[in-house]
Amino acid sequence: MTAVQSPRIAHRPLGVFTRPQGSEGWRSWLFTVDHKRIGIMYGAAALFFFIVGGVEALFIRLQLATPNGSVIGAGTYNGVFTIHGVTMVFLVVMPMAAAFANYLLPLQVGARDVAFPRLNAFSFWCFLAGGVLLTSSMFIGGWFQNVPDGGWFNYAPNSGVLFSPSKGIDFYAVGLQITGIASLVSAINLIATVLNMRTKGMSLFRMPVLTWMLLITQFLLLFAIPVITVALFLLMFDRLWDSNFFNVAAGADPLLWQHLFWIFGHPEVYILILPAFGIVSEIIPTFSRKPIFGYHFMVASGIAIGFMGWGVWAHHMFTSGMGPLSVAAFSVSTMFIAVPTGVKILNWLATMYRGRLRFTTPMLYAVGVVSMFTIGGLSGVTHAIAPSDTQQTDTYYIVAHFHYVIFGGALLGLFGGFYFWWPKAFGYKLNEAWGKASFWVMLIGFNFTFGPMHILGLQGMSRRIPTYRADEGFAFWNMVASIGAFVIAIGVAMFLWNVYASTRKWRRAGRPDVGPDPWDARGLEWMTASPTPEHNFDSDIEVQKLDEFWHRKYGRDETGRVVRAAPTSQIAHDGSNTSVHLPSPSYWPIVLSAGILLVGYGLIFNLWLAAAGVALLVGAIYGWSLEPPDDPDAAGHHGDHAGELPAADEAEGRAGSPLELEEAQSVD
Amino acid sequence: MTDTAAAEVAALSEDHRTSTGISNEKLAMWLFLGSECLLFGGLISTYMFNKGRIGPDDIGPDDVFDIPFTSVSSFVLLMSSLTMVFAVSSIAKGDLRRNRIWLAATAALGATFVAGQVYEFTAFYSEGLGFTTNLFGSSFYALTGFHGAHVTIGIIMLMSLFVMSVRGNLSRERAETVEIIGLYWHFVDVVWIVIFTIVYLFPQ
Ligand code: HEM
Ligand SMILES: [Cu+2]
């Protein structure tokens, strides 16, 4: 291997610290830089926050179940719905999508890991720091005393100290800033991975639709996060240091916040949905036994959404008094954006049309997404029509819309993804009977919860109110919605039980092997053993077609019928090549994130604490830069440089291969 | 910089290990700078949105700005881009000694700019314009302060490079690291030109 490394390490290595070792035990998870473990941790954390956010939702529904509800008071109610929304958007759907992005992007493009493995670990821990900070707001200084209470959109001037004197909004501003850093770093890392780490022959238009959708999502994050960063800084300056950005008494225009928030906020809703669109685009072809219909249209419509998503933000502000011209322009642009979305739905239907459908659990979820998202998309078009939105805005009709798209679209898609890729990540399938049952319970509960909200909204029930009177006529459908919410909770509990029971059963059965490709699927991630070996693939894959793996498995006979060309066992890698060079674990990503967490609490409570955080943070950055590239004494195949490079690559003059990562050389 | 030097820099920075030919590190810097455009875009828009929202007797741009002074400090920052170019080309040629000189010069020019900004802030403050005084004050200090923080981080990176070089850790093979930090430096300069034009030259 010296042949490859020598040009890069001709200078003296910088190392002064040693790197952690070993890949067993809980410590190895804290210091891991393996994209698969990081993906799994993202998924686990997101599920944890999903339970937290779900319990909050149940309290909302308990309070609203009957007129004059008195389960939680009006002040607490503001806190509960705010932290529910913030949790679900920033700590559940986004990290769950990040779980799939981390786990699957390198596999789907045939790479050994992401471009910057240590930065990847940092993204996760930094996200977790933000999540911990936000969640702790519920109990620091007493239950719900310092919880954010201005809604997830947190409109000014309500968010100022004058109207919200607790520390809640400080938690919001600082916490979202921290998760923002995590998303931004991860976006840069994953874009570099997809653009730079593709295996031989993996041209852009041979990448799976999921890879494309995740790539577009990362670009949206790259450009949307800095906008909310600005908004959050202004808010923080106003609250902590008395600046005037949203101080109406000093002449400020609170619409500035609305613009900044929604310039971020509308791309954000596509950040939430595009990963699920990608997942559905992997599941439906697999279980229809057909290639995706209109691959190029699928990709192009995703790109179109990525661009058009920047030109519609003010549809959230139709009633803000911004003027008829703006209202008309944003109304039209919003109607246009439904077109590429519709293209996707039609393409999924066309993929299923005359396919050999297998209704496995992942497929049920995917079909659930297609149908539920369509309902949400249609209600979206009804609010695109500004005069009608004037009636709908700030009512439960909006709440119905965004739950159909975010729960019925994004979250169901992500759950489908759990069932689909579970065998790849853990080596066994989740139980299908429980999976299907939990799907139906969730779907039915979902429709009972959010379907009636269309009616309530059109009847005039405002959102964000803690209760309503008996004579307003809202009681019946509210009760239905509250019952539905508990049905969803049962569905989620069934999913969790399924995870527990399937794992136990698999362990008791002596951990049987599911094989590399349990669903007879199409992407490169199925071309290696399950669970994915630490080094992903045994050797570089050379890609010649879209759905390369499928085309290696199947060919056509003389009559044009699709026939098996070779057994999977011959095509897939078995994970036996333990000589692939792996990046070593690192202490610093988690230390750096701890520094950021301290800075966060320090900004809210005490600047001395922030100073301590800054010291830790600076120390971690230097530790990071001075860490040796690799640990030469590490056990296993860490640092084992023998024979990691297929000779063919060198012959062609390539100085390395995507299988091999010199991450320590990064300036990261 | 001669053509051959430019070609050499280009050859050095081309990376055969990646699909695009651009190294991961350089691509990451470009992406980061793309994101930074939106950060400064947001801050500049905030400034433009707010600068006129002050009372008739309030302290405003015309009362505080000292255009000749800021022009000089802007010129200093511009010159630092030139020295940065020399720093990149000297390390690409393997001339470590010159590289150190140019790195130090760039850092020094940047520090002069930051010192000018500190002076300017103190002067404005003594004339009665604080961060909390009015919307102009808040927006002005937020925008230029963010920019100043970026320059400061750039100076820290340049000085780290300098120290690495002194300790023998910055060889020609690491030329790309210098180039990448150079990208950041040029970006911060360009942003200042935009800020200077919008904030100082056309205050109305
Ligand atoms: C067919 C595409 C869509 C259209 C035409 C559309 C249109 C709209 C419009 C006009 C509003 C503002 C209504 C109001 O506040 O008066 C809105 C609200 C909202 N939409 Fe959509 N939407 C679409 C898809 C989505 C998707 C895919 C998501 C998320 C995954 C989403 C999430 C939201 C959320 C969260 C809100 C409420 C924001 C708030 O006020 O808290 N929408 N939508
Ligand atoms: Cu929107």
The H-assigned helical ranges of B65-198 are 67-92, 96-126, 135-166, 175-195
**CA–CA dist A85, A92 (Å, integer):** 10
Rounded mean pLDDT, B143-169: 94
The verdict on residue B70 lying in a domain is: yes
Residue A462: phi and psi, rounded to 5, are -75, 150
Distance between Cα A163 and ligand 1 center (Å) = 27
Burial of A570 (0-12, 13-18, 19+ CB in 10 A): exposed
Nearest chain A residue to B36 by CA: give it: A226
Please state the CATH superfamily assignment of the domain spanning residues A37-584+630-652 in this structure: Cytochrome c oxidase-like, subunit I domain (1.20.210.10)
pTM: 0.91
As a whole number, the mean pLDDT across chain B is 90
Chain A nearest C-alpha distance from B75 (Å): 28
Q: Ligand 1 pocket, A164 CB below 6 A?
A: no
A150 CB near ligand 1 (under 6 Å): no
Residue A303's H or E segment, with its range, is helix A295-308
**Tell me, what's the ipTM?**
0.91
User: CB contact, 8 Å: A667 with chain B?
Assistant: yes
**CA atoms of A623 and A127, how far apart (whole Å):** 21
Does the C-beta of A392 come closer than 6 Å to ligand 1? yes
Q: Which of residues 88-147 of A touch B (CB under 8 A)?
A: 115-116
Contact A223 B53 (CB under 8 A): no
Task: Return the pLDDT at A360.
Answer: 96
| Inter-residue contact A461 to A476 (CB < 8 Å) | no
Strands A554-556 and A562-564: antiparallel
Closest chain B CA to residue A665: B25
Whether chain B has a CB inside 8 Å of the CB on A6: the answer is: no
- Measured distance CA(A13)–CA(A146) in Å, rounded: 48
For residue A556, the cross-strand partners are A562
B54 falls within a domain: yes
According to the model, what pLDDT value does residue A569 have?
A: 86
Pocket lining: A316 vs ligand 1, CB cutoff 6 Å: yes
B173 neighbourhood in chain A, CB within 8 Å: 7-8, 10-11
Query: Considering every ligand atom, which ligand is closest to the CA of A337?
Result: 1
CA distances from A521 to A203, A540, A547, B45, B66 (A): 20, 20, 9, 49, 68
A227 and chain B in contact, CB less than 8 A: yes
Give me the pLDDT at residue A188, please: 97
Count of domains observed in chain B: 1
For the domain that residue B197 is a member of, what is the CATH number? 1.20.120.80
Check whether B69 has a pLDDT greater than 60: yes
Q: How far apart are CA B94 and CA A605, in angstroms?
A: 50
Those of residues 163-182 in B touching chain A at CB distance below 8 A are 164, 168-171, 173-174, 177, 180-181
CA distance A406 to A277: 12
pLDDT at A643: 31
Q: Which one, of A396, A409, A379, A383, lies nearest residue A453 by Cα?
A: A396
Q: Which of A96, A301, A401 has most ligand 1 atoms within 8 Å of its beta carbon, as the pocket-test mutant?
A: A401
More confident residue, A446 or B11: A446
Task: State phi, psi for A240 to the nearest 5 degrees.
Answer: -90, -35
Is residue B7 situated within a structural domain? no
> Dihedral sign, CA of B11, B12, B16, B20?
negative
Report domain extents, chain A. Answer: 37-584+630-652
Distance A57 CA to ligand 1 centre (A): 20
Q: What are the mean pLDDT values of chain A's consecutive 10-residue runs (668 residues total)? A: 37 60 78 94 97 97 94 92 97 97 96 93 97 96 92 94 93 97 97 94 95 97 97 96 93 94 96 97 95 95 94 94 92 93 95 94 97 95 93 96 97 97 96 97 97 96 94 95 97 97 95 93 93 91 91 89 87 85 87 96 95 95 80 39 32 35 37
How close, in Å, is residue B48 to chain A by CA atoms? 11
- Out of A12, A234, A666, name the one closest to residue B24 (CB): A666
Cβ within 8 Å of residue A538, ≥6 positions away: A528, A573, A574, A575, A576, A577, A580
- Contacts B23 to A, Cβ<8 Å: 196
Closest-approach residue (CA) in chain B for A241: B132
User: What confidence score (pLDDT) does residue A659 get?
Assistant: 38
Within 426-485 of A, beta carbons closer than 8 Å to B belong to none
The radius of gyration computed from the CA coordinates of chain A, to the nearest angstrom, equals 25
Residue A544 DSSP class: -
Q: How far is the centre of ligand 1, averaged over its atoms, from the C-alpha of A375 (Å)?
A: 12
Cβ neighbours for A449, distance < 8 A, ≥ 6 positions apart:
A61, A403, A481, A482, A484, A485, A487, A488
Q: A233 vs B142: CB contact, 8 Å cut-off?
A: yes
Domain, as residue range, for B77: 25-201
DSSP-assigned letters across all residues of A350-370? HHHTT------HHHHHHHHHH
pLDDT band at B178 (very low <50, low <70, confident <90, very high): very high
